[in-house]
């Protein structure tokens, strides 16, 4: 956990007072809606279909229990009793009143939570691996660097009015859980031959209407230079990024139009001017940030405790354990993923009661820490294996033990037309229907790892391009039509999916997905061949044939 | 439109010229970049200060040969959402060590004052009277800054280092 000091607290409080003043000036008419819009966006406030939506940052996906309780409190006091975890380690509340927002922010500020730059054309919440600091084989905890970059990008005087939004993600594991290749800047933490920490820097990834997988701009940037290198990228982007067309304003378009070689030369030139400046980070500064991350005092515990051995007799427990429990870097401990994808539920939603109860469980079983992942699930990062059976029982009672992590019902979906003013089509009801179709755990398990991502419009908040099966809702002649892609992925081998054919109607989507899955089950060479691998081996044709043969 | 300089509302000594406005005999003038570059020497010879209005899509490096002689550079915010002039201001101050007036023009609103001050602006053509009057109060909104810029304000990272060391002295 990162503990805010007086300096961080002061800044967050100053931000709350500033926003209180801005809301007051808006309500009195002193600020026009046009002027206020940008200010509220920079504080995470959108105007949606039915009400204001409030997006709160959970930097690098790490939450303390008092923070999760504060989110529950906001859900209960200012909203309708629930919140929605997003694909970028944020939580959204959908029914906030403008006049109450400053109070909600003040309540969150008390526990070191804010909503700064969760929207707007500035640097967004810095995201990372939800297993940071606990994943076996990780090079080092990427959150130290995430926090350094979070601070540097917060209220940056030069880059708060960029051509478009700007997202940074960091991973320090071989397996990329942070989806860095679909970010404006992706950082892969590595060591050089001298054993020094640095980053492979990727740039220009992003989804939306023109999706791109990020390209490597520099193979190694030393840790001490990372802020100046990021600043150089941003300065080039701020000056040359397009501002004439909102759909061409992301850095991915600039990188594409200039070409990665020319773009990287521009960045290199700029970087040479600023790398030996006060942006250079000395070890002491890194150590200071590192010292404010606290780690649990792990006990020496057995790998296979009696409690676990006994519980293995219960098939339901075993189904959950095999699905949702992952190895921890410390023997005797596990990482537990908590699925927010119950059958028939909107993906990523949690009620205030669930959040409070989960905070209690995290205090009891996970050293007071909770994580949020981009797949819209939560995790308890430090659970002693002996506690797994008790934890499972408690989670099950809360409806938080659906054993579907990474399976076909672990769906990423945007809020879609049920909430969002940009949407053309519904997303949540499609996800709900699919979770019902594949509710049988045996079947889902037989299918194996398969990610379905759903977006209700071309802006791609549901990451449909990188879903193993991607579903994009569009509007055609006043009707919702869904385009289906297959073969996308968001991990270290990130790829964009391929369209399988003409769009289908709302009530056909689940049938089409069933057809695709049946085709896969018939086509796979062996049960271990994952959906992704079958698509890679055979291409989209056989799936296309299957889906459209009868339509 | 009120001009704020040195934190106060002041009279603007500069007269803005368009590309084709006849040149006044004396007095301080602000000249569009194109006109300035077309006759820099002639303009700089006359009595009165010369400032340049520099668009936000033109490389500020072109102005470097004249920076020792121009009294002011007016940078432009066509809308407050367009942040290119922040980069230009920082380059003027931090790379080219320009010490003359750097003026914010265009849609200059209260809620950008802190960013502008940090980027090196010291004069502000403020759109609304009420915002200009609230300048000093608004400039003090923040006491914590995470990034180093040329404005000399101490960053959070360095303040922490100082605190660490001062705590270390007594123990």
pLDDT tens for A73-95 read 999 999 999 999 999 999 999 99
Q: Tell me, rounded to whole angstroms, the distance of Cα B73 from its chain centroid.
A: 7
Helical (H) or strand (E) element with A171: strand A168-171
The reply to whether A483 touches chain B by the CB within 8 Å rule is no
Other Cβ atoms less than 10 A from the Cβ of B168: the count is 8
- On whether both B167 and B130 belong to a single domain, the answer is no
* Environment class of A240 (CB within 10 Å of its CB; exposed 0-12, middle 13-18, buried 19+): middle
Domain A412-549: homologous superfamily in CATH: Sulfite Reductase Hemoprotein, domain 1 (3.30.413.10)
Residue-wise pLDDT for A107-155, tens only, equals 999 999 999 999 999 999 999 999 999 999 999 999 999 999 999 999 9
| Host domain of residue B167 | 143-171
- Rounded to an integer, the average pLDDT of A429-433 is 97
Half-sphere exposure for B86 (CA within 13 Å, toward CB): 29
The one-character DSSP state at A96 is E
| Three-state DSSP class for residue A498 | strand
- On whether both B38 and B88 belong to a single domain, the answer is yes
Q: At what angle do helices A101-109 and A65-78 cross, to 10 degrees?
A: 160
- What is this model's ipTM? 0.96
- On whether both B91 and B122 belong to a single domain, the answer is yes
Question: Which chain A residues are Cβ-neighbours of B104 within 8 angstroms?
Answer: none
Joined together, the tokens standing for residue A238 give: 């701020």
| Three-state DSSP class for residue A529 | coil
Distances from the Cα of A286 to the Cαs of A62, A139, A241, A276, A294, in angstroms? Answer: 19, 16, 32, 17, 14
How close is the nearest chain B Cα to the Cα of A71, in Å?
Answer: 25
**A502/A518 Cα distance (integer angstroms):** 19
Residue-wise pLDDT for A167-206, tens only, equals 999 999 999 999 999 999 999 999 999 999 999 999 999 9
pTM: 0.96
**A264/A282 Cα distance (integer angstroms):** 25
Q: Which residues of A192-227 are buried (b: 16+ CB within 10 A; e: fewer)?
A: eeeeebbbbbbbbbbbbeebbbbbebbeebbbbbbb
Please list the residues that pair with B105 across neighbouring strands. B76
The reply to whether A284 touches chain B by the CB within 8 Å rule is yes
Mean of per-residue pLDDT scores for chain A = 96
Cα Rg of chain B (Å, integer): 18
Cβ-based contacts under 8 A for chains A and B: 92
Given a contact cutoff of 8 angstroms between Cβ atoms, the answer to whether A351 and A271 are in contact is no
Joined together, the tokens standing for residue A367 give: 């050293």
Q: Which CATH number fits domain A6-109: 3.40.50.620, 3.40.50.970, 3.90.480.20, 3.30.1330.90?
A: 3.90.480.20
The reply to whether A288 touches chain B by the CB within 8 Å rule is yes
What values do phi and psi take at B44, rounded to 5? -75, -20
**Cβ neighbours of residue A232 closer than 8 Å, sequence gap 6 or more:** A267, A268, A270, A271, A274, A275
The reply to whether A121 touches chain B by the CB within 8 Å rule is yes
| Three-state DSSP class for residue B21 | coil
**A267/A230 Cα distance (integer angstroms):** 9
The answer to whether residue A66 scores a pLDDT higher than 90 is yes
Q: At what angle do helices A509-523 and A428-437 cross, to 10 degrees?
A: 50
* Environment class of A329 (CB within 10 Å of its CB; exposed 0-12, middle 13-18, buried 19+): middle
The reply to whether A244 touches chain B by the CB within 8 Å rule is no
Residue-wise pLDDT for A328-387, tens only, equals 999 999 999 999 999 999 999 999 999 999 999 999 999 999 999 999 999 999 999 999
Helical (H) or strand (E) element with A446: helix A441-447
User: How confident is residue A49, by pLDDT bands cut at 50, 70 and 90?
Assistant: confident
Structural domain boundaries in chain A: 6-109, 142-290, 312-397, 412-549
Which of A35, A152, A238 is closest, CB to CB, to B147? A152
**Cβ neighbours of residue A209 closer than 8 Å, sequence gap 6 or more:** A247, A458, A459, A460
Please indicate whether, in this complex, the C-beta atoms of A158 and B130 are within 8 angstroms of each other.
no
What values do phi and psi take at A62, rounded to 5? -105, 130
- On whether both B57 and B134 belong to a single domain, the answer is yes
Question: Rounded to 5 degrees, what angle do the CA atoms A522, A525, A530 make?
Answer: 85
Question: Which has the closest alpha carbon to A413: A349, A492, A476, A317?
Answer: A349
Question: Which chain A residues are Cβ-neighbours of B146 within 8 angstroms?
Answer: 11, 151-152, 154-156
Half-sphere exposure for A436 (CA within 13 Å, toward CB): 11
| Chain length of chain B | 171
Residues of chain B with pLDDT under 70: 167-171
Residue-wise pLDDT for A242-259, tens only, equals 999 999 999 999 999 999
User: How confident is residue A444, by pLDDT bands cut at 50, 70 and 90?
Assistant: very high
Question: Which chain A residues are Cβ-neighbours of B159 within 8 angstroms?
Answer: 7
Position A64 scores a pLDDT of: 97
Q: Which residues of A265-300 are buried (b: 16+ CB within 10 A; e: fewer)?
A: ebbeebbeebbeebbbbeeebbebbbeebeebeeee
Joined together, the tokens standing for residue A481 give: 């039509």
Q: At what angle do helices A65-78 and A352-365 cross, to 10 degrees?
A: 170
Domain spanning A312-397 has what CATH number? 3.90.480.20
Q: Which residues of B90-105 are buried (b: 16+ CB within 10 A; e: fewer)?
A: bbbbbeeebebbbbbb
Residue entry with tokens 């106060």: B8
Residue entry with tokens 């940037």: A221
Matching fold, domains A6-109 and A412-549: no
Position B163 scores a pLDDT of: 86
**Cβ neighbours of residue B53 closer than 8 Å, sequence gap 6 or more:** B16, B30, B31, B32, B33, B74, B76, B105
Position B170 scores a pLDDT of: 45
**A207/A210 Cα distance (integer angstroms):** 6
Position B165 scores a pLDDT of: 83
CATH 3.30.70.1400 holds for A142-290: no
What values do phi and psi take at A29, rounded to 5? 90, -5
Instruction: Check residues A50 and A122 and name the one with the higher pLDDT.
Output: A122
**B109/A18 Cα distance (integer angstroms):** 14
Please list the residues that pair with A62 across neighbouring strands. A371
The one-character DSSP state at A492 is T
Q: Look at strands A45-47 and A52-57 and give their pairing.
A: antiparallel
- On whether both B90 and B168 belong to a single domain, the answer is no
How close is the nearest chain A Cα to the Cα of B151, in Å?
Answer: 11
- On whether both B75 and B93 belong to a single domain, the answer is yes
The one-character DSSP state at B92 is I
- On whether both B83 and B159 belong to a single domain, the answer is no
The reply to whether B141 touches chain A by the CB within 8 Å rule is yes
Interface of B with A in 60-89 (CB under 8 A): 80-84, 86-87
The one-character DSSP state at A417 is G
The reply to whether A152 touches chain B by the CB within 8 Å rule is yes
The reply to whether B140 touches chain A by the CB within 8 Å rule is no
Handedness of CA A20, A22, A25, A26 (dihedral sign): negative
Please indicate whether, in this complex, the C-beta atoms of B156 and A11 are within 8 angstroms of each other.
yes
Please indicate whether, in this complex, the C-beta atoms of B144 and A285 are within 8 angstroms of each other.
no
Which of B87, B141, B160 is closest, CB to CB, to A18? B141
**A471/A450 Cα distance (integer angstroms):** 13
Which of A10, A18, A238 is closest, CB to CB, to B83? A238
How close is the nearest chain B Cα to the Cα of A460, in Å?
Answer: 24
- Rounded to an integer, the average pLDDT of A386-406 is 98
How close is the nearest chain A Cα to the Cα of B156, in Å?
Answer: 7
Mutate to test the interface with A, among B146, B150, B162 (most CBs of A within 10 A): B146
Distances from the Cα of A103 to the Cαs of A23, A45, A73, in angstroms? Answer: 11, 14, 12
Position B168 scores a pLDDT of: 60
The reply to whether B130 touches chain A by the CB within 8 Å rule is yes
């Amino acid at each position: 956990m990162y503990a805010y000091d007086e300096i961080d607290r002061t800044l967050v409080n100053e931000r709350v007072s500033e926003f209180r003043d801005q809301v007051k000036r808006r309500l009195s008419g002193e600020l026009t809606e046009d002027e206020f819009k940008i200010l509220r966006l920079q504080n995470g406030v959108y105007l949606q279909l039915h009400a204001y939506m409030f997006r709160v940052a959970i930097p690098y996906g790490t939450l303390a229990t008092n923070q999760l309780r504060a989110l529950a409190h906001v859900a209960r006091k200012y909203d309708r009793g629930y919140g929605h975890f997003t694909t970028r380690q944020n939580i959204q509340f959908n029914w906030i009143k403008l006049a109450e927002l400053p109070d909600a922010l003040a309540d969150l500020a008390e526990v070191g939570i804010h909503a700064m730059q969760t929207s707007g054309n500035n640097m967004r919440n810095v995201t990372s691996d939800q297993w940071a600091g606990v994943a076996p084989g990780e090079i080092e905890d990427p959150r130290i660097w995430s926090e350094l970059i979070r601070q540097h990008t917060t209220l940056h005087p030069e880059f708060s009015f960029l051509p478009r939004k700007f997202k940074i993600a960091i991973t320090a594991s071989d397996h990329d859980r942070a989806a860095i290749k679909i970010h404006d800047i992706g950082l892969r933490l590595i060591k050089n031959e001298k054993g020094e920490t640095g980053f492979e820097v990727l740039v220009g990834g992003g989804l939306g209407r023109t999706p791109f997988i990020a390209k490597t701009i520099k193979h190694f940037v030393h840790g001490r230079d990372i802020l100046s290198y990021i600043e150089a990228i941003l300065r080039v982007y701020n000056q040359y990024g397009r501002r004439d067309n909102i759909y061409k304003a992301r850095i991915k378009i600039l990188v594409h139009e200039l070409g990665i070689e020319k773009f990287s030369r521009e960045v290199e030139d700029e970087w040479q001017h600023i790398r030996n400046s006060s942006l250079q980070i000395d070890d002491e500064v890194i150590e200071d940030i590192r010292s404010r991350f606290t780690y649990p005092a792990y006990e020496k515990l057995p790998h296979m405790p009696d409690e676990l051995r006994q519980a293995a007799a219960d098939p339901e427990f075993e189904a959950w354990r095999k699905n949702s429990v992952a190895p921890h870097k410390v023997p005797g401990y596990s990482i537990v993923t908590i699925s927010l994808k119950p059958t028939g539920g909107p993906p990523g939603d949690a009620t205030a009661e669930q959040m409070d109860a989960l905070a209690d469980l995290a205090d009891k079983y996970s050293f007071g820490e909770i994580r949020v992942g981009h797949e819209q699930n939560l995790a308890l990062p430090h659970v002693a294996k002996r506690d797994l059976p008790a934890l499972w029982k408690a989670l099950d009672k809360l409806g938080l033990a659906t054993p579907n992590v990474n399976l076909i019902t672990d769906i990423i979906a945007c809020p879609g037309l049920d909430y969002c003013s940009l949407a053309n089509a519904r997303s949540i009801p499609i996800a709900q229907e699919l979770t019902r179709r594949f509710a049988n755990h045996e079947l889902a398990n037989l299918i194996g790892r398969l990610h379905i991502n759903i977006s209700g419009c071309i802006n791609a908040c549901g990451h449909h391009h990188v879903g193993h099966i991607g579903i994009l809702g569009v509007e055609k002649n006043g009707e919702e039509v869904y385009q289906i892609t297959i073969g996308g992925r968001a991990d270290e081998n990130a790829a964009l999916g391929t369209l399988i054919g003409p769009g289908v109607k709302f009530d056909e989507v689940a049938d089409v997905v069933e057809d695709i899955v049946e085709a896969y089950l018939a086509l796979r060479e062996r049960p271990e061949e994952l959906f992704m691998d079958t698509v890679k081996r055979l291409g989209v044709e056989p799936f296309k044939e299957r889906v459209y043969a009868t339509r | 439109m009120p001009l704020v300089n040195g934190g106060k509302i002041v009279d603007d000594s500069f007269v803005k010229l368009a590309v084709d406005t006849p040149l006044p005999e004396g007095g301080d003038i602000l000249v569009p970049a194109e006109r300035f570059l077309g006759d820099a020497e002639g303009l700089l010879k006359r009595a009165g200060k010369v400032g340049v209005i520099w668009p936000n899509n033109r490389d500020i490096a072109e102005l470097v040969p004249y920076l020792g002689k121009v009294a002011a550079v007016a940078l432009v915010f066509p809308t407050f959402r367009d942040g290119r002039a922040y980069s230009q201001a920082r380059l003027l101050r931090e790379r080219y060590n320009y010490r003359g007036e750097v003026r914010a023009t265009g849609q200059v609103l209260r809620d950008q004052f802190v960013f502008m001050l940090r980027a090196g602006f010291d004069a502000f053509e403020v759109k609304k009277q009420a915002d200009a009057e609230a300048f000093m109060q608004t400039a003090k909104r923040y006491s914590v800054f995470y990034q180093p810029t040329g404005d000399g304000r101490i960053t959070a990272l360095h303040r922490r280092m100082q605190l660490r060391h001062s705590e270390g002295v007594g123990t």
